[in-house]
Amino acid sequence: MTPPALRETLGAMLQSHVVTISRFLVDQQRLHPEATGAFTDLLGDIALAAKVISREVNKAGLVDILGSADDENVHGEEQQKLDVFANQVVIRALDHTGNVACMASEESEEIIPIPAKFEAGEYVVIFDPLDGSSNIDVNVSIGTIFSFHRKQSEGERGVLEDCLQPGYRQVAAGYVLYGSSTMLVYTSGAGVHGFTLDPSIGEFLLSHPHMRIPEPPSKVYSINEAYYRRWSPAQQRLVSYLKGEGGFGSRYIGSFVADIHRTLLQGGLFMYPADNVNPKGKLRLLYEAAPMAMVVEQAGGKASDGYRSLLEIVPGSLHERTPLYMGSAEFVELAEGYLAEGD
């Protein structure tokens, strides 16, 4: 760290302005005398994985000059793609801790058991290690999404059914945004809190306590409008209203974490609807929709599949998809109203 940066951080710390994520988590844990510390450890491990992934994401642009993705590394193995790398980072940060019953990842077909050589714990961790990874090549923000459930089954280790729980049972959920700065945002049911990574000291610092979707919200809708012709007439009418009489503006990054982060900070309506090519939409219930639904609802917003809360849906399989409408409550309700009218 350069001396001025160090002085700045130390100065702020001495004035007690700075709260690191570890201090915040310990303070939160103190509010729950019955807590074992497992949950605090788990979030700490996610923060560690986020720092490692952030470092690699920041280096991605240098791949062309330092060696391409299909180069072989010194061990003669093919270098991994960033999303496969991120998957392994999260798994390795958690599998040996004794806190996790099993995991499920968008990158892995089946559930990820805890290796027999490690103890298993009570939490089920579900994650999308690097969402929007097709945006890496063009230097657009990407993210990691995570969610924790409690194991329900009786055995020592988690099973598939432990992963197939509805969103309302999530103990915590959140995301990491690798953007112009790296942010970790999470909720454990007592508000949404955001931390920004200070790369010079390698710490996540509390920057956005108690995040709430603003009222009144920005009138912004967010959808891939190139699919207009594939949508149902009701969906088409909704978007025609928003950009017509509704007086909405439009923003679409095409990277779910970044689009939802903007929606949290400014308000608006994010949509990834069903269409006649993808009858259940594109985004996944367990890895993308349910965790973000918990965050959005904890920030005072709403999250729906167009007809019911995303948090109520009981997943039938690990990689199930769902249509998705998220953001400011009044806008989500407006969308539900259009869909309820039918075609």
Enumerate binding residues for ligand AHM (CB under 6 A). Answer: 131-133, 224, 254-256, 259, 282
Let me know: does 324 contact 309? Beta carbons within 8 Å.
no
Task: Work out how close the CB of 277 gets to ligand AHM at its nearest, in angstroms, rounded to a whole number.
Answer: 10
Cβ neighbors of 240 (< 8 A, separation 6 or more) are none
Interaction between residue 41 and Mg ion (CB under 5 A): no
- Closer residue to Mg ion, CB minimum distance, 9 or 135: 135
Q: Which of the choices Mg ion, ligand AHM, none does residue 133 contact, using the CB cut-off of 5 to 8 A by kind? A: ligand AHM
Is the separation of the CB atoms in 105 and 288 below 8 Å?
no
Nearest distance, CB of residue 131 and Mg ion, angstroms: 4
Q: Which is nearer to ligand AHM, 195 or 272 (CB)?
A: 272
Could you say which of Mg ion, ligand AHM, none residue 196 binds, taking C-beta under 5 to 8 angstroms by partner kind?
none
Q: Which positions from 92 to 131 touch Mg ion by CB under 5 A, shown as an x/- string?
A: ------------------------------------x--x
Least distance to ligand AHM from the beta carbon of 222, Å? 9
Residue 82 CB, nearest approach to ligand AHM (Å): 11
Rank residues 128 and 203 by Cβ distance to Mg ion and give the closer one: 128
Report which residue's Cβ sits closest to Mg ion: 131
Q: How far is the CB of 126 from Mg ion (least distance, A)?
A: 12
Residue 290's H or E segment, with its range, is helix 290-298
Cα separation, 210 vs 189, whole angstroms = 11
Give the Cα separation of 92 and 17 in Å (integer): 33
Between 19 and 89, name the residue whose CB sits nearer to ligand AHM. 89
Identify each DSSP E strand in the chain by its residue range. Answer: 100-105, 112-113, 123-131, 142-150, 172-178, 182-187, 192-198, 203-208, 220-222, 249-250, 269-272, 302-304, 324-327
Report the Cα–Cα distance between both ends of the chain, in Å, rounded: 59
Which amino acid is present at 139? Answer: N
Q: Which residues bind Mg ion (CB under 5 A)?
A: 128, 131
